[in-house]
């Protein structure tokens, strides 16, 4: 995939409210070019809301989000992908009634389908996920959960993003498949792609990222390198409410 | 009733007197044609009330109202001219016919809703028009002339002036009855069903019967209009009952405000008069009505009747929110009556038993062989990662889903597969993860819907013994007052729940669940969206509910709350139970830690001080 | 048997018309969850426009229909724009709003073309053909052929083009569609315009079969919806099957119950839809996450 990009994602004082409920309260973090950052926390900590707010899929009630020189708060949700940000939604959200190939091509919607570059990217994605090549003509809805997850990641990669946002890729997957996801994430990281990974699975996140943000009740509870956080007993307390 | 009206409703009573005098004097100021127009407008007003009851109050799309109107008109015409019956006996039979057709047209509502119901009812109305234009019995396109004048103790009803008085009496009685229905138990249930059929079922409303009732009411009002119309015109032809008039009726109801019977009447009278004023330009009238309907739907979906409330809301906002001053009062704990008989062992102590419940959605396993037992008087926590099947389990227990396998037993009785309203009657109540309050009802009415435990079969009292309804209302109202007081919601009694802070909405939902005096209370993420202080209050409320003898099962993500509140915790992951025990046992369980953090190795890190755990 | 088959054949052309109506309705429904009760009236406008161009301006029949499609496409865009605030929100309000639009279109038609209506001469003068002892009107074959072409073009558009694929994606998951860069609002508008165009095509074709007047939209529209529901709301192949089922039922009822055909059709339809509320092929709804 693409390498050597210079855009950093900077989030400052980002807040999200649903009705009167504060889901995300003035959080901030950065993802440097090529860096991989994880956001972990228990259910309902505000992780998914954070990611959706970055994409503009839920209204932001405050804060600044920039990607390189672009002020993302001024970008329409449908145009975020055109600034080099790929999004893998929670629960995969592939287009179930379309074939695997169509799903992938839709990932490159912002580009021309006739462009040879698109075919090239398709070949690269299929190389990364051979199973998608085998299933090319199948309907996405007929794939297994793990395959759908690969497809969702592949679809996001089709836009040749510089930063990829992943929301709970491990949800509902068996430990073996979680390992596969981890391998993919590590490979993307090695290719120089910036990652922002939202996960409940702390182990996966610690292994896939260099730095982590721990969220609790919509706020940043802790930040640090993944290696140090891994050893920190406070993380488990936050998860188990002790 | 007068005693009740004397103090609070004095201004309203004065308005009624003025209206009555105006209605009395109206014919004296009108010419021959004008009184005819008014007579027709009253017929449409009756039709509109029926339509408003079905569409606005009960939320049932009914595009066959014009057919109910037609059925009774034709039945009266046929029975008087062909069968030689007197006008009034024919009218009674016609009303019955209309009600029967109403029930038949309502049957599809048991299986489908919204646009499906719209198309089916409209199709049936078209079928009716098709019959009237073709059947010899119905006179075909020429219609039926020569319908006798309704006899009335020697009063000559060929005079449209005198007929006006007959109509106005019937209209006032019908409107009063309609308003009585809307303002009492049946109307509240209908509105609750409109706002949220699932939640209405969960608090004990018998949804299928309510839907049929809505159509029956609608058709009786349509039938009444049909009888009056025939008596007035004494000639009928298919043209009166065509789709254009159906849509005109719809426009009346939408423009007037479908959720308010008075609004429906205003819409019907106004559009009838406008149509008459534009009688030489019917096409422009239709064009205008169509445009107004579109504009209303986009900008004022509550119609003319809703405009005062909207204006008030705008003014309040300008003045800087006057409603904010209301405060949540503290919760008044339940009496620790009937303390849980913790000592008794065996089946006696088991209130809820889940035996090998499975639930599949299109092959996807959401629950797989889930078993658990909840003892009477327990507070049980159900936790687990996202998508582990917790809410699905609640939906199976509370009758929203039919399990693909296994059984749920309440007090040793198999209850899985029963409808939510039956479970409610058996003493089960629940709240919802995403709050399902009846949005258009006040907080007080939300509670009153759930407090009303009367069976639907008791609605005969509306027709025959309204005083009984009245007494029941007063009792419910008193109970609602107590409940509001207990949950500290008194100052919000008259508010619409949607406008209240989230924490108050959550508390209202718990109060509504407790209104049915359940023995088992299911709480689905009661702490979601609450702040620290509110969570503390919640924990106090739940403890008190349990102390009052109610068993509580709660799904919760706030692990701190679960750890401090629950005696036992069941952990679900991937649709199966992976652990069960005391909070401390569960927190130390490798499988649980793996499910939550993805890493059992992390369980090796020493636990924090155990005293903290039991806190 | 012969009579029965002849009756069925008589229903083919109307079946094709209902199928077109149902397809347009389904396309709009599955893309944005909007139930368009003005669909029948859009068809009526299409029928009038086509007949005007064909009869008064003496344009070729095909060109007249194309112009009618263009005109109704614009009307479709307008309706969609006005009702956009209600999309994916309140079914009841949308339904009432589109009924309001229907009233407006009907009134406009009366103002433009008068209340009496017009008969449209058949563009195909050839005598009926005979197959195996069954008579088939040549115009019926033309209608079937054009409807078939429309189906092929629509399916081709949805399956083969980028825009069509994007429209399907919007129908399945509009949030995911947004995140890959699809303009959901524009996609919805195009779906609505195509739906209106299909109605106009049906209207143009039905002109020579029936009498064109301002209230023709009511019955055809509702039978078209019935067809869509029978096939499974939002399902394109369901719409086609449903259309032919209703068409043949119509023809059969007209043959056996004469004047009561509509009553019979709607009673049968009501019973069928109660037995299987999601239709033959099941409903394809928009996802409302």
Q: What angle (nearest 5°) sits at the alpha carbon of residue B300, between those of residues B299 and B305?
A: 165
CB contact under 8 A, B115 and C99: no
**C176 and A CB contact within 8 Å:** yes
User: Position of tokens 């296994």?
Assistant: B406
Contact C257, C264 (CB under 8 A): yes
CB contact under 8 A, B597 and A239: yes
Q: What is the full DSSP assignment across B528-590?
A: TT--HHHHHHHHHHHHHHHHTT-EEEEE-S-HHHHHHH-SEEEEEETTEEEEEE-HHHHHT-H
Q: What is the pLDDT of residue B602?
A: 54
Q: Minimal Cα distance from A112: which residue of C?
A: C162
**Confidence label for B511 from pLDDT (cuts 50, 70 and 90):** very high
* Pairwise pLDDT comparison (B600 vs A223), residue with the higher score: A223
Residues of chain B positioned with their CB less than 8 A from the CB of A21:
502, 529
Rounded to the nearest 5 percent, the helix, strand and coil shares of chain C are 75, 5, 20
Residues of chain A positioned with their CB less than 8 A from the CB of B587:
240, 242
A18 to chain C nearest CA, in Å?
A: 15
Indicate if ipTM > 0.90: no
**Confidence label for B2 from pLDDT (cuts 50, 70 and 90):** low
- Diameter of chain B by CA atoms? 98
**C169 and A CB contact within 8 Å:** yes
Is residue B608 over pLDDT 70?
A: no
CB pairs under 8 A between A and C: 61
User: Position of tokens 């759908």?
Assistant: A148
C268 to chain A nearest CA, in Å?
A: 32
Model confidence over B312-340: pLDDT tens digits? 878 877 775 544 556 788 888 888 765 44
Residues of chain B positioned with their CB less than 8 A from the CB of C89:
none
Residues of chain A positioned with their CB less than 8 A from the CB of B599:
202-203
**First and final CA of chain C: distance in angstroms?**
51
Q: What is the pLDDT of residue C262?
A: 82
Cβ density class B260-297: b for 16+ within 10 Å, e for less: bbbbbbbbbbebbeebbeeeeeebebbbbbbebbbebb
CA B215, CA B367: separation in Å to the nearest integer?
Answer: 38
Q: What is the pLDDT of residue A17?
A: 86
Q: What is the pLDDT of residue B325?
A: 57
Of C172, C181, C183, nearest to A95 by CB-CB distance is: C172
Q: Return the residue in B321, B531, B592, B597 with the most chain A beta carbons within 10 A, the one to mutate for interface testing.
A: B597
Q: What is the pLDDT of residue B610?
A: 37
**C155 and A CB contact within 8 Å:** no
Of A18, A178, A240, nearest to B559 by CB-CB distance is: A240
**B361 and A CB contact within 8 Å:** no
A188 to chain B nearest CA, in Å?
A: 21
CB contact under 8 A, C270 and B250: no
CB contact under 8 A, A231 and B605: yes
Is residue B39 over pLDDT 90?
A: yes
- Listed in sequence order, the DSSP H helices in A89-222 are 100-107, 116-128, 130-134, 145-157, 175-190, 202-208
CA A152, CA C58: separation in Å to the nearest integer?
Answer: 55
CB contact under 8 A, B119 and C225: yes
CB contact under 8 A, B250 and C99: yes
**Confidence label for B7 from pLDDT (cuts 50, 70 and 90):** low
CB contact set of B39 (below 8 Å; sequence gap of 6+): B160, B163, B164, B167, B232
Q: What is the pLDDT of residue A242?
A: 57
CB contact under 8 A, A109 and C162: yes
Counting every residue written for chain B, the total comes to 615
Q: In this structure, what DSSP letter does residue B390 have?
A: H
CA B418, CA B427: separation in Å to the nearest integer?
Answer: 13
**Confidence label for B463 from pLDDT (cuts 50, 70 and 90):** confident
Contact B487, B511 (CB under 8 A): yes
Contacting chains of A (3 CB pairs or more, <8 Å) are B, C
B302 to chain C nearest CA, in Å?
A: 10
CB contact under 8 A, C90 and B298: no
Burial tier of B138 (Cβ tally within 10 Å: 0-12, 13-18, 19+): buried
pLDDT (average), residues B257-282? 90
Interface of B with C in 122-181 (CB under 8 A): 122-124, 126-131, 133-135
CB contact under 8 A, B290 and C215: no
pLDDT (average), residues B256-270? 91
Q: What angle (nearest 5°) sits at the alpha carbon of residue B58, between those of residues B57 and B64?
A: 100
Q: Return mean pLDDT, chain B.
A: 86
CA A101, CA A113: separation in Å to the nearest integer?
Answer: 12
Considering chain B, what percentage of its residues have pLDDT values greater than 70? 93
Considering chain C, what percentage of its residues have pLDDT values greater than 70? 95
Radius of gyration of the CA atoms of chain C, in A: 18
Q: What is the pLDDT of residue B74?
A: 93
pLDDT (average), residues B256-269? 91
Of B120, B134, B244, nearest to C273 by CB-CB distance is: B120
Is residue B606 over pLDDT 90?
A: no
Of B502, B605, B608, nearest to A19 by CB-CB distance is: B502
The number of angstroms, rounded, from the C-alpha of A189 to the middle of its chain's C-alpha atoms is: 12
Of B128, B134, B250, nearest to C96 by CB-CB distance is: B250
Of A203, A231, A240, nearest to B587 by CB-CB distance is: A240
**B266 and A CB contact within 8 Å:** no
Is residue B268 over pLDDT 80?
A: yes
CB contact under 8 A, B120 and C270: yes
B602 to chain A nearest CA, in Å?
A: 8
Q: Residue ranges of chain A with pLDDT lower than 50?
A: 1-4
Q: Minimal Cα distance from C218: which residue of B?
A: B243
Q: What is the pLDDT of residue B4?
A: 52
**B274 and C CB contact within 8 Å:** no
CB contact under 8 A, A78 and C172: no
CB contact under 8 A, B502 and A240: no
Q: Minimal Cα distance from B384: which residue of A?
A: A43
Contacting chains of C (3 CB pairs or more, <8 Å) are A, B
Angle between helices B303-319 and B243-256 (to 10 degrees): 20
How many other CB atoms sit within 10 Å of the CB of residue B29?
Answer: 9
Model confidence over A125-153: pLDDT tens digits? 999 899 899 988 988 888 888 889 999 99
CB contact under 8 A, B297 and C93: yes
Q: Return mean pLDDT, chain C.
A: 85
Q: Return the residue in C89, C262, C276 with the most chain B beta carbons within 10 A, the one to mutate for interface testing.
A: C262
Residues of A with CB under 8 A from a CB of B: 18-21, 42-44, 91, 168, 170-172, 178, 200-204, 230-231, 233, 235-237, 239-242
Model confidence over B189-248: pLDDT tens digits? 999 999 999 999 999 999 999 999 999 999 999 999 999 999 999 899 888 898 888 988
Type and span of the H or E element at B462: helix B460-464
CB contact under 8 A, C162 and A113: yes
Among A161-165, B264-268, B551-555, B556-560, which is the least confidently predicted range? B556-560
Is residue C16 over pLDDT 80?
A: yes
Is residue C115 over pLDDT 60?
A: yes
Among B62-71, B596-605, C18-27, which is the least confidently predicted range? B596-605
Is residue B1 over pLDDT 60?
A: no
**B313 and C CB contact within 8 Å:** no
Instruction: Give the global pTM.
Output: 0.85
Residues of chain C positioned with their CB less than 8 A from the CB of B133:
259
CB contact under 8 A, A43 and B598: no
Is residue C164 over pLDDT 70?
A: yes
Q: What is the pLDDT of residue B553?
A: 95
CB contact under 8 A, A241 and B562: yes
CA B50, CA B69: separation in Å to the nearest integer?
Answer: 10
Q: What is the pLDDT of residue C229?
A: 87
Residues of chain C positioned with their CB less than 8 A from the CB of A89:
175-176, 179
CB contact under 8 A, A240 and B606: no
Q: Which two tokens stand for residue B551?
A: 């068993």
CB contact under 8 A, A105 and C166: no
CB contact under 8 A, C176 and A89: yes
CA B162, CA B169: separation in Å to the nearest integer?
Answer: 11
**Confidence label for C214 from pLDDT (cuts 50, 70 and 90):** confident
């Amino acid at each position: 995939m693409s390498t050597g990009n210079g855009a950093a994602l900077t989030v400052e004082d980002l807040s999200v409210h649903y009705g009167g409920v504060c889901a995300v309260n003035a959080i901030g973090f950065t993802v440097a070019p090529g860096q991989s950052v994880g956001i972990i926390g228990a259910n309902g900590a505000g992780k998914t809301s954070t990611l959706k707010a970055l994409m503009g899929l839920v209204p932001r009630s405050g804060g600044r989000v920039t990607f390189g020189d672009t002020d993302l708060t001024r970008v329409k949700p449908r145009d975020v992908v055109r600034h080099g940000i790929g999004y893998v939604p929670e629960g995969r959200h592939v287009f179930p009634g379309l074939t695997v190939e169509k799903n992938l091509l839709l990932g490159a919607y912002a580009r021309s389908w006739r462009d040879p570059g698109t075919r090239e990217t398709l070949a690269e994605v299929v190389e990364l996920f051979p199973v998608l090549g085998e299933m090319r003509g199948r309907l996405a809805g007929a794939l297994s959960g793990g395959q759908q997850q690969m497809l969702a990641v592949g679809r996001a990669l089709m836009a040749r993003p510089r930063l990829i946002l992943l929301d709970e890729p491990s949800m509902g997957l068996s430990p073996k498949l979680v390992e596969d996801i981890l391998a993919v994430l590590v490979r993307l990281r090695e290719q120089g792609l910036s990652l922002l990974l939202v996960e409940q699975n702390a182990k996966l996140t610690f292994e896939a990222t260099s730095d982590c943000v721990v969220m609790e009740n919509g706020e940043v509870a802790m930040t640090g390198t993944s290696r140090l956080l891994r050893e920190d007993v406070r993380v488990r307390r936050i998860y188990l409410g002790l | 009733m007068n005693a009740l009206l004397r103090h609070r409703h004095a201004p309203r009573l004065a308005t009624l007197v003025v209206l009555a005098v105006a209605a009395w004097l109206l014919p004296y100021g009108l010419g021959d044609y004008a009184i005819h127009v008014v007579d027709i407008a009253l017929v449409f007003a009756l039709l509109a009330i029926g339509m408003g009851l079905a569409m606005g109050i009960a939320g049932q799309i009914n595009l066959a109202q014009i057919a109910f109107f037609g059925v009774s008109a034709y039945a009266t015409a046929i029975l008087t001219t062909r069968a030689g019956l007197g006008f009034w006996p024919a009218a009674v039979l016609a009303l019955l016919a209309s009600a029967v057709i109403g029930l038949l047209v309502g049957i599809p509502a048991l299986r489908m809703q919204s646009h499906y119901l719209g198309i089916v009812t409209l199709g049936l109305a078209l079928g009716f028009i098709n019959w009237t234009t073709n059947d010899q019995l119905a006179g075909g396109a020429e219609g039926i002339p020569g319908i006798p004048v309704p006899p009335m103790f020697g009063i000559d009803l060929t005079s449209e002036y005198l007929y006006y008085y007959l109509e106005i009496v019937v209209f006032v009685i019908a409107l009063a009855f309609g308003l009585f229905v809307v303002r009492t138990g049946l109307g509240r249930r209908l509105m609750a069903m409109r706002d949220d059929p699932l939640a209405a079922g969960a608090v004990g409303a018998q949804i299928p019967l309510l839907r049929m009732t809505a159509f029956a009411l609608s058709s009786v009002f349509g039938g009444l209009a049909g009888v009056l119309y025939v008596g007035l015109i004494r000639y009928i032809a298919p043209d009166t009952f065509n789709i254009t008039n159906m849509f005109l009726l719809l426009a009346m109801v939408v423009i007037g405000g479908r959720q308010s019977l008075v609004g429906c009447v205003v819409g019907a009278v106004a559009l009838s008069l406008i149509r008459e004023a534009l009688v030489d330009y019917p096409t422009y009238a239709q064009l205008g009505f169509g445009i107004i309907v579109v504009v209303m739907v986009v900008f004022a979906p509550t119609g003319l009747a809703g405009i005062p409330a909207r204006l008030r809301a705008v003014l309040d906002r300008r003045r800087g929110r006057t409603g904010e001053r209301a405060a949540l009062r503290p919760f008044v704990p339940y009496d620790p009556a009937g303390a849980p008989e913790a000592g008794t062992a065996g089946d006696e102590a088991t209130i809820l038993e889940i035996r090998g419940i499975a639930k599949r959605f299109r092959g996807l396993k959401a629950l797989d062989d889930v078993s658990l037992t909840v003892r009477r008087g327990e507070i049980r926590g159900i936790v687990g990662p996202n998508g582990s099947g917790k809410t699905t389990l609640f939906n199976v227990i509370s009758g929203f889903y039919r399990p693909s396998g296994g059984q749920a037993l309440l007090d040793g009785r198999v209850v899985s597969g029963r409808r939510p309203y039956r479970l409610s009657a058996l003493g089960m109540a629940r709240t919802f993860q995403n709050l399902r309050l009846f949005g258009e009802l006040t907080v007080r009415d939300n509670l009153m819907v759930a407090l009303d435990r009367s069976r639907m079969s008791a609605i005969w009292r509306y027709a025959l013994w309204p005083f009984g309804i009245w007494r029941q209302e007063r009792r419910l109202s008193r109970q609602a007052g107590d409940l509001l007081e207990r949950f500290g919601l008194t100052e919000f009694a008259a508010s619409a729940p949607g406008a209240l802070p989230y924490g108050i909405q959550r508390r209202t939902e718990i109060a509504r669940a407790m209104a049915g005096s359940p023995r088992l209370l299911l709480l689905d993420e009661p702490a979601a969206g609450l702040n620290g202080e509110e969570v503390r209050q919640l924990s106090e409320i739940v403890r008190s509910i349990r102390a009052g003898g109610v068993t509580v099962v709660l799904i919760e993500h706030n692990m701190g709350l679960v750890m401090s509140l629950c005696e036992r915790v069941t952990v679900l992951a991937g649709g199966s139970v992976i652990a069960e025990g005391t909070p401390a046992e569960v927190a130390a369980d490798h499988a649980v830690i793996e499910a939550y953090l993805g890493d059992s190795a992390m369980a090796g890190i020493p636990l924090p001080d155990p005293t903290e755990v039991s806190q | 048997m012969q009579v029965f088959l002849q009756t069925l054949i008589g229903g083919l052309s109307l079946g094709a018309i209902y199928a077109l109506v149902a397809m347009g309705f389904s396309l709009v429904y599955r893309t944005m969850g909007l139930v368009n009760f003005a669909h029948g009236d859009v068809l009526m406008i299409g029928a009038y426009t086509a007949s005007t161009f064909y009869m008064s301006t003496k344009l070729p029949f095909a060109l007249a229909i194309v112009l009618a499609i263009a005109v109704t496409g614009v009307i479709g865009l307008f309706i969609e724009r006005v009702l956009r605030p209600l999309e994916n929100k309140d079914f009841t309000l949308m339904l009432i709003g589109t009924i309001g639009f229907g009233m407006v279109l009907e009134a406009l038609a009366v103002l433009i073309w008068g209340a009496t209506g017009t008969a449209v001469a058949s563009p195909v003068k050839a005598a009926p053909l005979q197959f195996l002892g069954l008579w088939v009107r040549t115009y019926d074959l033309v209608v079937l052929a054009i409807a078939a072409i429309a189906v092929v073009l629509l399916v081709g558009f949805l399956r083969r083009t980028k825009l069509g694929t994007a429209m399907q994606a919007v129908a399945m998951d509009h949030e995911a569609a947004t995140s890959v860069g699809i303009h959901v609002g524009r996609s919805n508008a195009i779906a609505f315009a195509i739906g209106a165009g299909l109605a106009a095509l049906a209207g143009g074709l039905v002109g020579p079969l029936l009498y064109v007047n301002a209230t023709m939209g009511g019955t055809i529209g509702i039978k078209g919806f019935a067809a869509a529901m029978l096939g499974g709301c939002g399902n394109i192949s369901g719409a086609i099957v449903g259309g032919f089922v209703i068409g043949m039922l119509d023809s059969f009822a007209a043959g056996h119950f004469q004047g009561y055909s509509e009553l019979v059709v709607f009673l049968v339809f009501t019973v069928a839809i109660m037995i299987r509320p999601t239709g033959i092929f099941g409903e394809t709804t928009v996802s409302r996450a």
